[in-house]
Amino acid sequence: MSGPASVKKLMSAAVIALLIVGAARVGIAQPAPETPAQRDARMKWWREARFGMFVHWGLYSALAGTWEGKPVGNKGGMEWIQQRVKADTATYAARAIPQFKPKPNFAREWARLAREAGARYVVLTSKHHDGFALHDSKVSDYDAGSVLHRDLIKEFVDAARAEGLKVGFYHSMIDWHHDQYEYALSKQLPHPLKGSPYPNGKRNHAIYQQYLHDEVNELVSNYGPIDILWWDFSAVDFQGDQAWRATELMSLVRSKQPRVIQNNRLFRIPEAGFTGMGTAAIAPQLNPKYGDFITPEQHIPATGMPGVDWETCMTMNTTWGYNEHDRDWKSAETLIRNLIDIASKGGNYLLNIGPKADGSVPVESIESMKAIGAWMRVNGESIYATSASPFQKLDWGRCTRKALPGGKTRLYLHVFDWPKDGKLVVPVNGGKLAVARLLATGKTLPVTSAAGATTINTGSAAPDRIASVIALDITGRP
Ligand code: GLC
C-alpha cells in the first residue's frame, strides 16, 4: 500500500468510530414524508422517459472475459469474472489494472450514443461487485482517483449533462475488495472467496457499512444533481437494515439529493417487490419506503403492473460487462420490439452497453443503438410519456396511449404484423370522428367504426418491417 493511501485508510478507520457513535446519537436527518402528489411530481420525468441506457464498465471490462490467456466463457455476466475464476482481490487487480486504459472523451461517445438512440437517462456502474470505484474517493485507495489519477465519474456526469441526459449511478453493496466485508454472513450472496476463512482473520461488517455510506456520500455530494441511485443487490438471507443500514442509506441519499429516484435492491422482501432469489422472482408491489421502482432483470413481465413503477434492465448479448467471446447479440428488431412491448405494459427499458477497456463501445451495440434511434426519431411520440395499453392482447402488435383534451384518446398502434388484406382491426368503437394517421409519413388512413371494432384501411405495404405506428384518435377513454 502506498503512503498516502495508507494514511487515507488510517484516517477513515479513526473517523469510523466517531461516525458510528455520532450517527446513532444524532440520527441522519429524516426527510419529510412525501405525499402521493409530491411523489408523482418527483417520478414524472422518469415515467415519461421510458428508455434509458445502462453502462457496465470497470476493471472487469479490461479482462474482457479472458483469464491467463483462456476464455472464461461465452455466456453470462462477465463483470463477475473475479468470482468466476475465484481470484482474490490482489491477483484480480494486478491483472486488470494495467489493461484498464480509459481513452480521453470516452464518456462523450457514450452520452452522444445514448442521446442519439433516444434514451433519456444513463446509469453507470460507480462501483460493481469487484469493489473498484470509478470516482476519486477519499475513503478508498481502490478507486480511479488513486489508481489512474482521474475521476471517471466526473467525466461521465459532465458528458451526460452536456447531452441533456438524466444521470444515475449503479452502486454495488456487495464488495469483493473491502477487507471488512463479512461475506460469511450470507450464504446467498456471491464472493470469490466464499467458503474460505477471511484471509485477514476476523472482520467487522459495521466498518464496511460505514465505508459504503461514506463512499455513497461522496457520490451524492460531489457531482451536482444525481437523478437515480441504482442499488445492487441483496439476498433473502442478507438484506436491508441488517446488511447495509439500508433505510439510513436511503435517507442519506435523499437528504443530499431530494429529487433522486432509487430502486428496490437494498432489500429483498415481498414488500420491496421480491419473492425470493433469482432474476424472475419479482412481486408486483412496492412500499415506497423500500424504493421507487422495481427491477425485473433480463425479462419483460407478462402483463403490466398497475400502480407499480418498474424498469426492465437487459443486456444486448448475454453479459453486462464486456466479454470479447460473447457473440450472442440480440437483433435491432428484438430490441425495438422489447422497448415497445415494455412501454405497452407501462414500464421502462434500461438497455445495457458494456464498453471495452478504453471505454469504446462494441460495434454491435453502436449499430443497435443507432437503429433504435432511427426508429425513435420517427415514432418516439408513441413511446415517451405514454401509458399502458388498454387491451389485453392484440394479434398484430402492441398499443400505447395518451389522453387528449376534450375526453379524446390517442391510441398508438404498433403494428408488428402488417395486415395482408390491408385492414387493421382494433377492438374498440372509435366513434364517428375517429382519425388514423401513419407516423412514418403523416398520411391519414381511412377508418370505419362500428360497435366493438374500428377498422383502419392500411394499404398493403408495411412502412417499417420492425414496427409501423398508426396514431388513432378516438372519442372517449377505452
Ligand atoms: C445482477 C448482477 C450484476 C448486474 C446486475 C444488473 O444483480 O449481479 O452483475 O450488474 O444484476 O441488473
Same domain for 261 and 331?
Answer: yes
Indicate whether 90 and 235 sit together in one domain.
yes
**pLDDT score for 83:** 98
Residue 235 has phi, psi (to 5 degrees) of -120, 160
> Distance of CA 316 to CAs 54, 138, 220, 228, Å?
11, 35, 29, 22
Distance from the alpha carbon of residue 263 to the mean position of ligand 1, in angstroms: 13
pLDDT in single tens digits along all 478 residues of the chain? 334 444 454 445 444 444 444 444 444 556 568 999 999 999 999 999 999 999 999 999 999 999 999 999 999 999 999 999 999 999 999 999 999 999 999 999 999 999 999 999 999 999 999 999 999 999 999 999 999 999 999 999 999 999 999 999 999 999 999 999 999 999 999 999 999 999 999 999 999 999 999 999 999 999 999 999 999 999 999 999 999 999 999 999 999 999 999 999 999 999 999 999 999 999 999 999 999 999 999 999 999 999 999 999 999 999 999 999 999 999 999 999 999 999 999 999 999 999 999 999 999 999 999 999 999 999 999 999 999 999 999 999 999 999 999 999 999 999 999 999 999 999 999 988 999 999 999 999 999 998 889 999 998 789 999 999 999 999 998 8
pLDDT value at residue 33: 83
Q: Is the CB–ligand 1 distance for residue 173 below 6 Å? A: no
| In a domain? residue 303 | yes
387 is a domain residue: no
Provide the domain limits for residue 203. 4-382
- Regarding the beta carbon of 296 and ligand 1, being less than 6 Å apart is answered no
Centre of ligand 1 to C-alpha 313, Å, is 9
Residue 362: which of 370, 105, 52 has the closest Cα? 370
Same domain, yes or no, for 328 and 447?
Answer: no
Do both 167 and 246 map to the same domain? yes
- 290 contacts 268 by C-beta, under 8 angstroms: no
Annotate the chain with three-state secondary structure.
CCHHHHHHHHHHHHHHHHHHHHHHHHCCCCCCCCCHHHHHHHHHHHHHHCEEEEECCCHHHHHCCEECCEECCCCCCHHHHHHHCCCCHHHHHHHHHHHCCCCCCHHHHHHHHHHHHCCCEEEEEEECCCCCECCCCCCCCCEHHHHHCCCHHHHHHHHHHHCCCEEEEEEECCCCCCCCCCHHHCCCCCCCCCCCCCCCCCCCHHHHHHHHHHHHHHHHHCCCCCCEEEEECCECCECHHHHHCHHHHHHHHHHHCCCCEEECCCCCCHHHCECCCCCCCECCCCCHHHCCEECCECCCCCCCCCCCCEEEEECCCCCCCCCCCCCCCCCHHHHHHHHHHHHHCCCEEEEEECCCCCCCCCHHHHHHHHHHHHHHHHHHHHCCCCECCCCCCECCEEEEEEECHHHEEEEEEEECCCCCCCEEEECCCCCCCCEEEECCCCCEECEEEECCEEEEECCCCCCCCCCEEEEEEEECCC
- Amino acid letter, 460: S
Q: Is 109 exposed, middle or buried (0-12, 13-18, 19+ CB in 10 A)?
A: middle
Residue 390 lies in a domain: no
Asked if 323 and 434 sit in the same domain, the reply is: no
**Within a domain: 408:** yes
CATH of the domain at 450: 2.60.40.1180
Residue 389 covered by a domain: no
How many A from CA of 256 to the centre of ligand 1? Answer: 26
Q: Does 316 share its domain with 365?
A: yes
Residue 313 has what pLDDT? Answer: 98
CA atoms within 13 A on the CB side of 459: 12
**Last residue of some domain: 331, 352, 382?**
382
Label residues 41-64 b or e (16+ Cβ within 10 Å = b): eeeeebbebbbbbbbbbbbbbbbb
* 233 Cβ inside 6 Å of ligand 1: yes
CA of 461 to the centre of ligand 1 (A): 42
Give the angle subtended at the CA of 430 by the CAs of 463 and 428, to the nearest 5°.
85
Q: Which pLDDT belongs to residue 15? A: 44
Residue with cell 444521470: 167
Same structural domain, 292 and 412: no
Question: Is ligand 1 within 6 A of the CB of residue 214?
Answer: no
| Residue of 253, 263, 306 lying closest to 288 (CA atoms) | 263
Please provide residue 293's backbone torsions phi and psi, each rounded to the nearest 5 degrees: -150, 155
Same domain assignment for residues 356 and 406: no
| 84 CA to centre of ligand 1 in angstroms | 14
Is residue 388, in this structure, part of any structural domain at all? no
Matching residue, cell 407478462: 302
pLDDT of residue 30: 61
Mutation pick for ligand 1 pocket among 263, 279, 320 (CB with most ligand atoms within 8 Å): 320
Cβ–ligand 1 contact at 320 (below 6 Å): yes
Shared domain for 169 and 268, answered yes or no, is: yes
Dihedral of alpha carbons 309, 47, 437, 377, sign:
negative
Q: Does 414 lie in the same domain as 283?
A: no
pLDDT value at residue 254: 97
pTM summary value: 0.94
Work out how many domains the chain is built from and give that number. 2
Please report, for residues 29, 226, 472, the alpha-carbon distance to residue 32 in angstroms, rounded to integers and kept in the order given. 9, 19, 43
Judge if 306 and 452 occupy the same domain.
no
CATH number of the structural domain spanning residue 228: 3.20.20.80
Same domain, 82 and 116: yes
Closest atom, ligand 1, to C-alpha of 77: 9
Query: Pairing mode, if any, of strands 228-232 and 166-172?
Result: parallel
pLDDT at residue 20, as a whole number: 43
Question: Does the residue 159 lie in any domain?
Answer: yes
**402 Cα to the center of ligand 1, angstroms:** 33
Atom of ligand 1 nearest to the CA of 232: 7
**How many Å lie between the centroid of ligand 1 and the Cα of residue 59?**
15
Ligand 1 centroid–CA 340 distance in Å is: 23
Residues 6+ apart with CB under 8 A from 43: 261, 292, 309
Atom number in ligand 1 closest to CA 125: 10
Q: Is the CB of 297 under 6 A from ligand 1?
A: yes
Ligand 1 midpoint to CA 464 (Å): 34
Q: Is 273 in the pocket of ligand 1 (CB under 6 A)?
A: no
Q: Is residue 392 part of a domain?
A: no
- Distance CA(422)–CA(409), nearest Å, equals 24
Q: Is 274 in the pocket of ligand 1 (CB under 6 A)?
A: no
